Structure 1
Amino acid sequence: MADDLDWNAIIAPGSDAERRKATSDRAAGSDDRGDTGPVTPPPAPPMSRREARALETERARRAATDGPPADPVVERVDDEHPTSPAHAPVATPPEELHPEVAALLTGEVPSAPSLAEHASDGTADADRTSGGGAAGGGGRGSRGGGGRASRPPREPRPRRRRGPLVAGVVIVAVVLAAGVGAYTFAAPKIQQIVASVSGSQEPDDYTGSGTSKVTVTIKQGDIGEDVAATLQRSGVVKDSKVFYKLLLASPDVQFQPGSYALKKQMSSKSALTALQDEDNRVQASIVIPEGTALADIEAGMVSKAGLTKKEVAAAAEDLSAYDLPSGVTSLEGWLFPATYPINPGWTAEQYFGSMVDTMKEHLAAAGVKEADQERTIVFASLVQKEAGLAADYPKVARVFQNRLDQGMKLQSDATVAYGTGNTHTVTTTDAERADASNEYNTYVHEGLPPAPISNPGDIAIKAVTAPATGEWLYFVTVDLETGETVFSDTYDQHLVAVEQFQAWLRAHPDYQ
């Protein structure tokens, strides 16, 4: 490195032996103030780089005028305050200096050929192979005899080591890879923040004319915001705000209460155009099949009648509005399965009221007394879920009634499933059938379930009011495709029927 170079060796003329002698002479002139002999002059202090440059400049000047000096001893020249113009350092062209000296002054790294040339003139190989940058002396330009360089020499640059460089490259690569991964993870969040600041965001509207069909109802008294909310709730438009802004920009648009055949995922413009087309207006209805549960009826009212979940749920909980018998805890079972036309002016309470009134009418037509209405509905809801073919409903009703009369548990899978929250199947597991915490578990608890498990239709109501005649205590469906059911008086007979059902299952492994 530059600070390790022997400046005296670089700038001093003469052979190596002469330079070593000059160095030893300086070292021998120590200041031994304790001696009684003659006082030895104090040793010359080590020369700075500036002194070294000035000395070489002076020697070059003397060599040009008087020839080389006879005394090789290093002289100190005060370049800061020359005693006379003759003592002022004279600038030496960089091309005449040692390459490392010139590089130190100019800041340029010497080329390989220039180093080779000076090496042939006696430059130490150690200085070249150390790789520590160039060093040297001499001034660059003088003004008014000052002799100072126009700018201070640069510190030599150390040789770069490959090890740390490679490690640095690896670290940078790892950091970049981690940065890419972090950006991939954080990009959505960053984009959301940028979007909120800049106002740009992902598309908030669908494109095109839509996909699957859907019926949307505009109620009597709905304003633009209500229509927009209904369209978004039904999956027609992506954002109700976008549709509403479009509506505000179309002051001549008016909506007529009623049901409209639209499509899901329509652009706001396509949806608005479709609502203005009378050909899309239809007579929509809420269709309730036999055995439908309350939760599914509520969902149908939301999707078909343009009502909100909050409106429907609140109406279902307000049992006092429907004149039900005392002890009724839910609308479950009291909503007669039928087709109910959409009335744009109706509330959720009016729809429920119509369904309850229809159930009361059918109970009365079946000869059910008001005091027996609740029990009849509970019993009919069980038969509705367990029976398959219409001809089997009275037989299923007889099986359950015979078991009740003999004090047997009903052991209905349909009641157990309802108690677990599953209203779409009657299959259960061993653990579910053993769960005594399920109050609808008729494998554990005696008698009928505490409340209806579905909304029964006429056929189930008539079956429990007029069950078939028989001694059956068991039944099992042995063919799930045809609904064929075997009724048995004894448990042994029932086991034979169960084996028949299992054989059918083995023969139909892919049956769903």
Structure 2
Amino acid sequence: MNARRLLLLVVLAAVVAGGWYWQRFQSFADAPLAGVAADASLVVDRGDNLDKVLRTLRAQRIATGDRLYWQLLARQTGAAGRLQVGEYALGAGITPRELLLAMRDGKVVRRKFTVVEGWNIRDLRAALRKVPLLAQTTETMSDAALMQALGHAGQHPEGRFLPETYAWVRGDSDLDLLKRAHAAMDTALEAAWLSRAEDLPLDNPDAALTLASIVEKETGVAAERAQIAGVFVRRLKIGMRLQTDPTVIYGMGSSYAGNIRRSDLQTDTPYNTYTRNGLPPTPIAMPGKAALHAATHPAAGDALYFVALGDGSGRHAFSASLDAHNTAVRDYVQRYRAQARAEREGAASK
């Protein structure tokens, strides 16, 4: 065999071997990782390299295969030396290529937390404490210490966090979420105040926030927000007391047991709008954007009273006079009693 034929055979063997190796590499790169558990994830900490990532995967009983393949794929995808810190989802069917691209681009797991319209500050803080994996840094803080940590020392926390859904990632803390919700409320309140209707009996944005919180708690149907705001605005203009139960309940604090009595309406607190004129000293809940808009853009009309219809719709009957309101209240009481009687009879027949 002459040297030329030998060289040709060597080249052919190299080509075949290279093709075989490349095929194996491609199969590795785009084949699902074996052993991935449901809802599994990978956490990459600061300073972690590819070898640490592979050890972490193996610790989760995930078959990683050839380390050389991973190094080659990391160079091919541009992920070598560029793994970003965070938590990455290891969904069923994820391939080495998809995982490296996710770590290169920082496509971390994004979780969601929703601040619910009408929550008070106690509700919000209790909900945050129950969020798994969210770093808890404010649990032992008083409300005053919390506001100081947020950079708003001396500000009452009630109503200061915008109801919305916020995305967060592993490593974030409850304080991080609260900062964002506080900034979002500042922005929403400013926008509502700057676009407010003329001749409002509100001296500043804080008054608008307080009124919006009352509207939020009084509204069962979104379409009625502006009407309810209109009732309260007209009462403020003529010096009539707001006489709204949610403020009384808020002033009762932990003593509220789910039922409000006549004696509660007569017991004076800074939040009892049956015994005191004007708005309460602070908001009583977290109002959403719609309630902020209603408080600063109340519906026109002459109604000074409203009462629930009691038909299960959540809607109200609005009245311009006390006589008409009393009639609406009697109608409500009759419907309530009829419904209660029907429920008792239905239970007795079972």
User: If the TM-score is normalised by the length of the shorter chain, which range does it land in?
Assistant: 0.5 to 0.7
Are residues 1:293 and 2:125 paired? no
Give, as a single letter, the amino acid of the residue that structure 2 aligns with 1:346: D
Give, as a single letter, the amino acid of the residue that structure 2 aligns with 1:329: H
Q: What are the superposed Cα offsets for residues 102-140 of structure 1, whole Å, 9 maximum, x if unpaired?
A: xxxxxxxxxxxxxxxxxxxxxxxxxxxxxxxxxxxxxxx
Calculate the aligned-residue CA RMSD, in Å: 3.6
Q: 1:220 to 1:461 in 2, by over 3 A?
A: farther
Partner in structure 2 of residue 302 of structure 1: 129
Partner in structure 2 of residue 502 of structure 1: 333
Shift of the alpha carbon at 1:368?
3.8
Q: Secondary structure at the match of 2:204?
A: helix
Shift of the alpha carbon at 1:482?
0.7
Q: What are the superposed Cα offsets for residues 68-94 of structure 1, whole Å, 9 maximum, x if unpaired?
A: xxxxxxxxxxxxxxxxxxxxxxxxxxx
Partner in structure 2 of residue 388 of structure 1: 220
Give, as a single letter, the amino acid of the residue that structure 1 aligns with 2:176: Q
Give, as a single letter, the amino acid of the residue that structure 2 aligns with 1:311: T
| 1:463-482 to 2 correspondences below 5 Å | 463-482=294-313
Q: What are the superposed Cα offsets for residues 393-413 of structure 1, whole Å, 9 maximum, x if unpaired?
A: 111111111111111111110
Q: 1:221 to 1:375 in 2, by over 3 A?
A: farther
Kindly indicate whether the alpha-carbon contact (under 8 Å) linking 1:220 and 1:345 is maintained by their aligned counterparts in 2. Answer: no
Shift of the alpha carbon at 1:328?
2.5
Shift of the alpha carbon at 1:448?
0.7
CA distance in 2, matches of 1:338, 1:444: 34
CA distance in 2, matches of 1:216, 1:386: 43
Are residues 1:354 and 2:164 paired? no
Partner in structure 2 of residue 492 of structure 1: 323
Shift of the alpha carbon at 1:468?
0.6
| 1:344-493 to 2 correspondences below 5 Å | 344-368=170-194, 372-421=204-253, 428-436=260-268, 438-493=269-324
| Runs of 5+ unmatched residues, structure 1 | 1-214, 223-250, 261-280
Q: 1:220 to 1:413 in 2, by over 3 A?
A: farther
Give, as a single letter, the amino acid of the residue that structure 2 aligns with 1:445: R
Q: What are the superposed Cα offsets for residues 143-193 of structure 1, whole Å, 9 maximum, x if unpaired?
A: xxxxxxxxxxxxxxxxxxxxxxxxxxxxxxxxxxxxxxxxxxxxxxxxxxx
CA distance in 1, matches of 2:275, 2:305: 17
Q: Secondary structure at the match of 1:476?
A: strand
CA distance in 2, matches of 1:394, 1:424: 28
Partner in structure 1 of residue 161 of structure 2: 335
Q: 1:490 to 1:216 in 2, by over 3 A?
A: farther
Q: Secondary structure at the match of 2:308?
A: strand
CA distance in 2, matches of 1:505, 1:451: 33
| Runs of 5+ unmatched residues, structure 2 | 1-38, 47-57, 62-84, 90-107, 196-202, 345-350
Q: What are the superposed Cα offsets for residues 433-475 of structure 1, whole Å, 9 maximum, x if unpaired?
A: 1111x22111111111111111000111011111011121110
Q: Secondary structure at the match of 1:475?
A: strand
| 1:11-90 to 2 correspondences below 5 Å | none
Q: 1:415 to 1:308 in 2, by over 3 A?
A: farther
Give, as a single letter, the amino acid of the residue that structure 2 aligns with 1:387: T
Higher relative contact order (CA 8 A, sep 6+): 2
Kindly indicate whether the alpha-carbon contact (under 8 Å) linking 1:216 and 1:303 is maintained by their aligned counterparts in 2. Answer: no
**Rg larger for:** 1
The alignment's TM-score, normalised by the length of structure 1, stands at: 0.43
Kindly indicate whether the alpha-carbon contact (under 8 Å) linking 1:302 and 1:308 is maintained by their aligned counterparts in 2. Answer: no
CA distance in 2, matches of 1:306, 1:423: 33
The alignment's TM-score, normalised by the length of structure 2, stands at: 0.61
Give, as a single letter, the amino acid of the residue that structure 2 aligns with 1:320: Q
Kindly indicate whether the alpha-carbon contact (under 8 Å) linking 2:137 and 2:174 is maintained by their aligned counterparts in 1. Answer: no
Partner in structure 2 of residue 320 of structure 1: 148
Large movers: runs of 4+ above 4 Å: 215-222, 251-254, 256-260, 307-310, 422-427
Kindly indicate whether the alpha-carbon contact (under 8 Å) linking 1:284 and 1:304 is maintained by their aligned counterparts in 2. Answer: no
Give, as a single letter, the amino acid of the residue that structure 1 aligns with 2:141: A
Q: 1:220 to 1:440 in 2, by over 3 A?
A: farther
Kindly indicate whether the alpha-carbon contact (under 8 Å) linking 1:259 and 1:342 is maintained by their aligned counterparts in 2. Answer: no
Give, as a single letter, the amino acid of the residue that structure 2 aligns with 1:362: A
Q: 1:322 to 1:431 in 2, by over 3 A?
A: same
Q: 1:283 to 1:322 in 2, by over 3 A?
A: closer
The size of the alignment, in residue pairs, is 246
Q: What are the superposed Cα offsets for residues 323-354 of structure 1, whole Å, 9 maximum, x if unpaired?
A: 54x86222x20110011123212222211110
Shift of the alpha carbon at 1:314?
2.2
CA distance in 1, matches of 2:41, 2:322: 54
CA distance in 1, matches of 2:335, 2:249: 23
Q: 1:439 to 1:220 in 2, by over 3 A?
A: farther
Q: Secondary structure at the match of 1:333?
A: coil
Give, as a single letter, the amino acid of the residue that structure 1 aligns with 2:280: P
Q: 1:363 to 1:416 in 2, by over 3 A?
A: same
Q: Secondary structure at the match of 1:340?
A: strand
CA distance in 2, matches of 1:485, 1:219: 52
Q: 1:410 to 1:350 in 2, by over 3 A?
A: same
Give, as a single letter, the amino acid of the residue that structure 2 aligns with 1:318: L
Kindly indicate whether the alpha-carbon contact (under 8 Å) linking 1:216 and 1:306 is maintained by their aligned counterparts in 2. Answer: no
